[in-house]
Amino acid sequence: MVGVRQFDEGEALDKALTLFWQKGYSQTTMQDLAEATGVQRGSLYNAYGDKETLFLRVFGVYRDRYVDHMREAMDKPGLREALESFFGFVIKSMRTGAPTRGCLSTKTVVGIEELDESIRSEIRDLLDEIEAALHERLSRPGEAEQLALSPQDAARLIVMHTRGLVVIERVYRDEQRMRSMAELLIQLLLKPKLS
């Protein structure tokens, strides 16, 4: 290998992720990305071809990290604790940054009408993966019985609920409200204890 890449790809993708997340896909320009990563615009084009391809690479990083952290958050002994920790992670993820960054996948899929199918498909896969991880967690023996719904239905409802939280965050920018919304859903999902 001669003529080797002069920038650290991991670091560049990481900084690009921060930017895309903060500003959203369409409002992030290649110039912005060049400045944030310290890599010249031309080099980015040379390395990734175009903005969309670069985004897809960045989105892969986002997805892997998101799912990892989410699984970790859910890995708690009790069902209620697991759900509280899950929503805690989801909320914290959105409320990071100033102004808060919200949710990358939602911003992308809702904000862009002419969205390339490959991007939409990546986002669908991410949601499916989140749903699957929730389903798995909710199916732990001895805990599924505490749910007012089947693990399948509950997982889907929770995924949709988190998407609703994203929108509420964008509109109200009120973390307390988000927390209480999460708590409400947990209450509804967990069967009242038969004393």
Partner DNA sequence: ACCATCCTTGACACTGACGTCAAGTTTGAC
Partner DNA sequence: GTCAAACTTGACGTCAGTGTCAAGGATGGT
Give the residues lining the site for a second copy (CB under 8 A). 22-24, 26-27, 99, 102, 106-107, 109-114, 120, 123-124, 127, 148-149, 153, 156-157, 160-168, 170-172, 181, 184-185, 187-189
**In the beta sheet, which residues pair with residue 147?**
190
From the centroid of its chain, how far is CA 42?
29
Helices (H), 2-116: 9-23, 30-37, 41-48, 51-74, 79-94, 104-111
State the nearest-atom distance from the C-beta of 118 to DNA, in Å: 14
Which residue has 């089947």 as its token pair?
150
What are 171-174's contacts with CB under 8 Å, separation 24+? 173/99, 173/100
67 binds, among DNA, a second copy, none (CB under 5 to 8 A by kind): none
Residue 156 interaction partner, one of DNA, a second copy, none, beta carbon < 5-8 Å per kind: a second copy
Give the shortest CB-136-to-DNA separation in angstroms: 38
Q: Which of 14, 18, 24, 30 binds DNA (CB under 7 A)?
A: 30
SS3 161: helix
Q: Which two tokens stand for residue 97?
A: 């940054």
Q: CA–CA separation, 151 vs 160, rounded Å?
A: 14
Give the nearer residue to a second copy in terms of CB position, either 47 or 110: 110
Give the shortest CB-42-to-a second copy separation in angstroms. 26
Site for DNA (CB under 7 A): which residue of 14, 18, 41, 153? 41
Q: Please report the sign of the dihedral spanned by the C-alpha atoms of residue 172, residue 174, residue 176, residue 182.
A: positive
Residue 42 is a binding residue for DNA (CB under 7 A): yes
DSSP-assigned states of every residue in 8-24? -HHHHHHHHHHHHHHH-
Q: Is 2 in the site for DNA (CB under 7 A)?
A: yes
Contact code string over 142-171 relative to DNA, x by CB under 7 A: ------------------------------
Matching residue, tokens 């391809």: 53
Question: Does 29 help bind DNA (rule: CB under 7 A)?
Answer: yes
CB nearer DNA, residue 37 or residue 93: 37
3-class SS at 190? Answer: strand
Q: Which of 14, 18, 35, 51 binds DNA (CB under 7 A)?
A: 51
